[in-house]
Structure 1
Amino acid sequence: MRFVRSGRRVAVAAVSLSALLVAAACGGSSSDSGSGTGSSAPAVDFTKQGDIELWNGKDTSGNLPKLIAQFNAQHPNGKVTFHELPDNADQQRQQMIQNTQIKNPAMAVISMDVVWTSEFAAKGYVVPLPTDQFPTEGFLQSAVAGATYFNKLYAYPSTSDGGLLYYRKDLLDKYNLQPPTTFDEMKTACDTIKKGENNSKLDCYAGQYNKYEGLTVNFDEAVHSAGGVIVGDDGKPNVATPEAAKGLQTLADWFKNGDIPKAAITWQEENGRQAFEAGQLIFHRNWGYVYNLAQTDKDSVVKGKFDVAPLPGISGPGVSSLGGHNFAIAANAENKGTAVDFLKFMSSEEVQKSNTLATSQSPTIEKLYTDSDLVKKFPFMPTQLKSIQTAIPRPKAVEYGDVTLAIQDAAYGALQAGANGQTADSTTALQGLQTKLQTLIK
C-alpha cells in the first residue's frame, strides 16, 4: 500500500510550479475549490491538454518513474512529472490539502488513500470523474466503493490492499508448526521457536504502532478481530465496549510482556519490513508490497525462508483494515485532459499487471488475482484477494483527519504504557475516544 524506501530518492523536476507554491501553503479548509455534492458547481473541462504533476508518496520499487516515462512516450500533448511526497500518509494528506488551498494548478493527479475519499470529495478537493470515460466493471467492488462518495466516482482504483501475516516458514517447519489463526496460537508458536533457537535478537511479532495512520489500521484490525467495532452499522461510534477494549488491551499487553518488541512503538511499515528482512521477527503484519522486497533486497536474510498467511485475530480469525490508493483529479488542476488520460493509463489491465509483477502491489482488477503469470511469481495472490474481500473499511468521515488523530491518541497512549512496562487502562482510553468520536461522526 505504501510508496516508501529508505535512502532512495527519485529524480523529479529541479524546479516546478509546485515547489514554488508549497512554501506559501498553509492549513485550513477551502470554501471556493468546488463542491463535493452541490448541484451548482460549474462544468469541468476534461479536455485541456498540457503538462501535469502526479503527487504521490515515496516509491518503494523504482517502477513508478518507469510507468510515467512509458505514458509520456505515448502522450505528446502533455507530460507527467512525479512530485514525490513524504512516506508518511498523514503528511501526504496535509500537503495535498495545503496546495488545494493555494490553488496550485500543477497538482493535477493525486494518489488518494481510500480513507480520504469522503473528505476530499465533500470539501471539493477533487472532482467527480465523467462516468462515460471511467467504467468500473471488472474492478474489485471494495475498490470502487472506496473511490465513491454519494454515488459519484471521485477516483479511479489503482492499487488495493489487505493486511497479511508474514512468517518465517523455515522456523515454523523446523518446529512442526502451522501458521497461527489467533494471537494465542501465535504466542505459543513464538514461545516454542524462541526457546528452541535461543536467540535473544529474535522477537515474536510486530505491526505498525507509531502515531500515524498505520496505528489507526492496526487498532482497527485488533478491535474488529476481538468482536468490536469503531463505528456501528448505524453509522454511530460504538468503540467503548468490552470487545474493543480487549483488542487494544491485547496489543498493550504484548508490548508489556515483550512479545511485541518495545522498539516497535516507533515503527511504521518500513521499520517493520526491515526488521523482518533482517531476521529479527518471526511474524510480521504488513501489506503486499513487502513480499517482492523481502525476496529481492540484497540485504534480506529471509529470501526463500518466509511465506504469507491471513492475519490472526484476537478472539477468532483476523480481519484486515481495507487499504489501497486511487488516482483522483485535483479540483484546481489546469490540464485535466492529460490527467484523464493518465488515470486511464495507470488503471488499465496491462499497466496494473506490469506494476504488480514489478512491485507485488495488489491490483484493483479482480481477474488479475488468478492471472497465471502473477500467481506463478507471487503465490500469495489468492490469500491477498481473500484479505481484501473480507477487509473492513476504516470509519468514513468528512473530518477523517480529526477522526484518525483521535484514534491514534487513544491507542498510542495505551500501547506506550505497555511499552513502558505498565498495565494499560484500555477501557478508560476507549471511553474517552467514544466521547471524541461522537462529536466528529454524526
Structure 2
Amino acid sequence: MTLSRRALLTSAAGVAAAGLLAGCGGRNLDDLLAQAATVPREPARLTWWVSEIPSRRGAVVADLIIRAFERRHPLVRVSKINALSTSDGNRSAIATQLAGGSPQPDVYLGDTTWPAQFGHASLALPVETLLPSGFWDAFPAALRDSSTFGGSAYAVPFFIDSTYLFYRKDLLAKHGLRTPRSWEELLHTSRTVQRAGDVETGFLWQAGVSESLTANVTEFLADAGAEVLDARGRAVLGGAEAERAFSLMADFTAHGVSPRTVATYKESDSQDAFANGRGLFLRNWSYAWVNASNPKVSRVAGRIAATSRPGFEGTGRSGVSCAGGWSNFVNPSSQELGAAMEFARFCAGSEVQRLLAQEAGVIPAMTSVLSGPQARAAGDPTVLRAAGLRLVARPVQTPYYPQVSKALYTPANAVVRGSLSPAAGVRAAREGLRTALEGKAL
C-alpha cells in the first residue's frame, strides 16, 4: 500500500488505517520498514535535527552522543541541524520541511506531544516493530502512552521533563514551617510568609494562554482524580473533581498567593521571578533547578530545595508530574532509514542514557539510570526524585491535540483571571474539547 503525504493536522477523511500512517511519500510501507530494520554495512551519512541540550559541565551534549555513536558504527557519520529552541517553533519548522518530502533530517528531536499529530500526518515512521521485545519496560508507562497513536509508536524516547515544587528552604526554616503536603497547606504557608513581609509572592506557576497552562491543568486535574479523555479518546471532563482543580487555580490569584500577572506567565517568566527572590514556591520543569541553583544568575542559589508537587487533602494522591520531554522521530522520506533507526535506538540505550545523567541538565528517559551512579554523582534533586513521580500524559492521543490543548488552556486562563467561575470554566473546557475532537476547532 502506498500513502500520499498530508498536511499536518488536516481532516482524517480518506485516511487509511491509523497503523499504516507512515509518511511514505508514495513509497511502500513494508519496504520502508524492511529498510529501517537493516543496519547499514556501507558508508552512510545522517542528519540529526536537534536543539541545544542543557549541559552540566559545559560540554556540547549532542556532540558527545554523535561521537559515541560513530565509535560504535564507524561507517556512519552524523551531522547536526540546529533546531529552534521552542517546541511550537520547532513543530512548525520541521512539519513544513517534512511535508515537502525532504529526505533530511533523517532523525529529528521532537516534543512528546507530537507523535499522534506527526503519525496521523504521515511525517514520522511507525517504529513499534523496529524496537526490541520488552523495549518499553525500561521506560515510564506515560512515555509509551504519549509515543503511541493508532496502536503503533512513532517516537523513540530520549529524555524526559518532569515538574517539581521548588521552594525557599531558608524562609520555611525561619518560620518553622514544613514543606507543604497538600495544596491547601501551600496556600496557608504562602499567606503566612507573605504576611510577614519576607516574600512578595507565595506561588509562581504558568497560567498564560499557552501549552504551558495545559501542562498545569493536566496536573491539577490528575491531583483531583479527574480525567480529560477516556480510553476511547472521548471528552469526559466534568464533575466535582474537575471543579476542585479549577477552583484551586482561581484561589491562587483570588487570595493573592499568585500575582494577577501569573495569567501571562510561561516557564521563563516564573523561573526568572523565583531566581530573583520574588517567590516562596515555584512549580516548573526540572531544568529550572540548573538556573535557580546557579549563583551566577540566581539570587537564591544555596537557599532553595526541590520536592515533588503536593496533592489535594484527603485524596492520597501526590507527586504527580506532567510527562514532558523529547524523543527521536525517524523521517519516513530518509534515504538512510536503517542508520536513522539505529541512531534513534542508540539514543534510547543505556550508554547514551548514562551519558545524559552525567553530562546533561535533563532527566534520562530510562528508569534504571535514575538510580545509577551517574545520576547520584550529578547531585541534582530533580534527577534523584524522578523515579518516584507519578507521571501523567497530557491528552495527546489525538491528532487534534493543539486544538484540544487550546480547549483546556483558554477557559483555565479565564478562571485564573476571574472572568469565569470554576464551574463555568469546566463546562467551557468540556464543550471546547468536544468541538476539537470533531476536527472543527481552529
User: TM-score scaled by structure 1?
Assistant: 0.82
Q: Which residue of 2 aligns with 1:37?
A: 19
Gaps of 5+ in 2: 1-6, 22-27
- The one-letter code matched in structure 1 to 2:140 is L
Q: Which residue of 1 aligns with 2:114?
A: 116
Q: CA shift at 1:282, angstroms? A: 0.9
**For 2:406 and 2:244, how far apart are their aligned partners in 1?**
21
**For 1:344 and 1:367, how far apart are their aligned partners in 2?**
17
| Contact 1:166/1:307 (<8 A) preserved | yes
Does residue 1:83 correspond to 2:77, yes or no? no
SS in 2 for 1:320: strand
**For 1:143 and 1:28, how far apart are their aligned partners in 2?**
22
Q: Which residue of 2 aligns with 1:8?
A: none
Q: CA shift at 1:154, angstroms? A: 2.2
| Contact 2:119/2:149 (<8 A) preserved | yes
Which 10-residue stretch deviates more, 364-373 or 377-386?
377-386
Q: Which residue of 1 aligns with 2:203?
A: 205
Q: Which residue of 1 aligns with 2:25?
A: none
| Contact 2:117/2:399 (<8 A) preserved | yes
**For 2:65 and 2:385, how far apart are their aligned partners in 1?**
30
Change in Cα spacing, 1:380 to 1:429, as seen in structure 2 (3 Å) is closer
Q: CA shift at 1:144, angstroms? A: 3.2
Q: Which residue of 2 aligns with 1:283?
A: 281
Alignment of structure 1 residues 4-403 onto 2, 5 Å: 29=10, 36-38=18-20, 41-44=29-32, 45-46=35-36, 50-61=44-55, 63-71=60-68, 74=71, 75=74, 77-87=76-86, 89-129=87-127, 131=129, 134=132, 136=135, 137-196=137-196, 198-199=197-198, 202-233=200-231, 235-296=233-294, 298-315=296-313, 316=315, 317-318=317-318, 319-376=320-377, 377-387=379-389, 390-395=390-395, 396-403=397-404
Q: Which residue of 1 aligns with 2:421?
A: 425
**For 1:380 and 1:105, how far apart are their aligned partners in 2?**
37
Change in Cα spacing, 1:216 to 1:379, as seen in structure 2 (3 Å) is closer
- The one-letter code matched in structure 1 to 2:155 is A
SS in 1 for 2:216: helix
Q: CA shift at 1:126, angstroms? A: 0.6
| C-alpha distance after superposition, 1:122-142 (max 9, x if no partner) | 332111226455451533333
Gaps of 5+ in 1: 1-25
SS in 1 for 2:214: helix
| Contact 2:276/2:299 (<8 A) preserved | yes
Q: Which residue of 2 aligns with 1:438?
A: 434
Which 10-residue stretch deviates more, 350-359 or 168-177?
350-359
How many residues were matched structurally?
Answer: 408
Change in Cα spacing, 1:207 to 1:30, as seen in structure 2 (3 Å) is same
Change in Cα spacing, 1:271 to 1:33, as seen in structure 2 (3 Å) is farther
Which 10-residue stretch deviates more, 136-145 or 343-352?
136-145
**For 2:128 and 2:406, how far apart are their aligned partners in 1?**
33
**For 1:260 and 1:232, how far apart are their aligned partners in 2?**
32
SS in 2 for 1:285: strand
SS in 1 for 2:363: coil
Change in Cα spacing, 1:29 to 1:238, as seen in structure 2 (3 Å) is closer
**For 1:125 and 1:239, how far apart are their aligned partners in 2?**
30
SS in 1 for 2:335: coil
**RMSD across aligned C-alpha pairs, in angstroms?**
3.0
Q: Which residue of 2 aligns with 1:405?
A: 406
Q: CA shift at 1:186, angstroms? A: 0.7
| Contact 2:53/2:360 (<8 A) preserved | no
Q: CA shift at 1:213, angstroms? A: 1.4
| C-alpha distance after superposition, 1:229-254 (max 9, x if no partner) | 21245642122323212212321231
| Contact 2:228/2:236 (<8 A) preserved | yes
| C-alpha distance after superposition, 1:81-117 (max 9, x if no partner) | 1322132x23322223222221222122222322222
| Contact 1:30/1:123 (<8 A) preserved | no
**For 2:359 and 2:270, how far apart are their aligned partners in 1?**
21
Q: CA shift at 1:151, angstroms? A: 3.9
Change in Cα spacing, 1:263 to 1:54, as seen in structure 2 (3 Å) is farther
SS in 1 for 2:206: coil
User: TM-score scaled by structure 2?
Assistant: 0.82
| Contact 2:104/2:331 (<8 A) preserved | no
- The one-letter code matched in structure 1 to 2:432 is K
| Contact 2:107/2:328 (<8 A) preserved | yes
| C-alpha distance after superposition, 1:282-317 (max 9, x if no partner) | 111112222233223511122222111121224444
| Contact 2:177/2:189 (<8 A) preserved | yes
Q: CA shift at 1:436, angstroms? A: 2.5
SS in 1 for 2:234: coil
**For 1:432 and 1:169, how far apart are their aligned partners in 2?**
39
**For 2:15 and 2:229, how far apart are their aligned partners in 1?**
30
**For 1:128 and 1:394, how far apart are their aligned partners in 2?**
21
SS in 1 for 2:241: helix
SS in 1 for 2:296: coil
Identity %: 22
| Contact 1:164/1:384 (<8 A) preserved | no
**For 1:346 and 1:125, how far apart are their aligned partners in 2?**
20
| Contact 1:134/1:344 (<8 A) preserved | no
| C-alpha distance after superposition, 1:258-296 (max 9, x if no partner) | 211223222222222222222221111112222233223
**For 2:338 and 2:99, how far apart are their aligned partners in 1?**
22
| C-alpha distance after superposition, 1:298-339 (max 9, x if no partner) | 111222221111212244444222222211102222332332
Change in Cα spacing, 1:332 to 1:150, as seen in structure 2 (3 Å) is same
